[in-house]
Amino acid sequence: MTSTLHSLLRLHLAAPGWGVAFAVAMLAGGCASQPAGYGISDAAASQAAEQHALAEKEKPDSATVYLALIEQMQKKNMYFASLAHLDEYERTYGTSPKTTLMRADALRATDQLPASAAAYHALIGTSLAAQGYRGLGLISGAQGDFDSAAQSLSKAAETNPTDSQLLSDLAYALMRSGDVTGARVPMMKAAELDQKSPKVMGNLALYLLADGQTKNANGLMDAQNMPKDVRDAVRKDAQAVAAAAREREKRAAAASHGNAADRSVANASRATRPAQPGGASGTAAHAEPPVQLVAPVGTTATQPIDQMFPSQQWRQGPALSPFAVAASARRGSTD
């Protein structure tokens, strides 16, 4: 029995995390049939208790340390393991916006998109709302719905307007939805905020290609020493952007044609309406009131319509001089 006791104590000392309760339970079970006087001594029990207390002291004693360990797992792409530890963390310390975001990211990385979207939605209205909108945008983009992606990412950018990666994601989503013009401003913001990010520079090259600036795009990719596979991916995306832009133009033309047809039908209906006595159309009880045009604030109703509602023109900003190429947009010029 003495040798058994010594073995168990050595095992406990080698792995103090097991705890003294385990050693005591094993000894109690092994000595149940022994005569009185056998069993763990007071000195051994005291020593085991001290070892247990030391092991507990050496454990991560704060939620911050544990959360940092989980973050390291995610940085190493150990997302499934991080989900398991997030379960344990929240069981012990409770749920917070930070753990919800980490869970949402891990679920997205492990292709559990519905659960990930639910977690991102839970962040709306918290201090991490921008990350929630960004995650929803990334999920929409992964599913090919770049219109919805752009909407979510735009909301995220409103909350976090200096995040270069977020602005770059927004520009990409806008380009993939066919809105190259709308992508210019967030893309240029991202490029000037972070000139060292390969992802931002890749999206900038994509924008230049989509905007017809092939020479500048090639110059940028040369200056950034982009490898061939990255250049091929940029050019492939540029083809997808061009196709989306054509489809967007078709939808706009169809909508414009439909509106014109609706107006023609309405005008024809009014023209063929039977005249009523006194020159009024329809019955007096259902006579349509004249349409009143309200002039915008700061204008008068006597101004020509083109002065009351002037068209908005994009104005070109300065060239991005820190780059090896001029990244100014082709549309417009500085006055």
The token pair that represents 325 in the structure block: 């190429």
CA 240 to centroid of chain Cα atoms: 21
- The number of beta carbons lying within 10 Å of the beta carbon of residue 82 is 25
Specify burial of residue 138 (Cβ count, 10 A radius: 0-12, 13-18, 19+): buried
What pLDDT band is residue 81 in, cutting at 50, 70 and 90? Answer: very high
Are the CB atoms for 235 and 204 separated by under 8 Å? no
Q: pTM of the entire structure?
A: 0.59
Which pLDDT does position 255 carry in this prediction? 79
**Has residue 150 got a pLDDT over 90?**
yes
Are the CB atoms for 211 and 329 separated by under 8 Å? yes
- Give the tens place of pLDDT for each residue, 191-201: 999 999 999 99
What pLDDT band is residue 256 in, cutting at 50, 70 and 90? Answer: confident
**Has residue 149 got a pLDDT over 60?**
yes
- Give the tens place of pLDDT for each residue, 266-310: 666 665 565 555 544 444 444 444 434 344 444 444 433 333 333
- Give the tens place of pLDDT for each residue, 315-332: 233 333 222 333 333 333
- Give the tens place of pLDDT for each residue, 47-68: 667 666 655 555 556 889 999 9
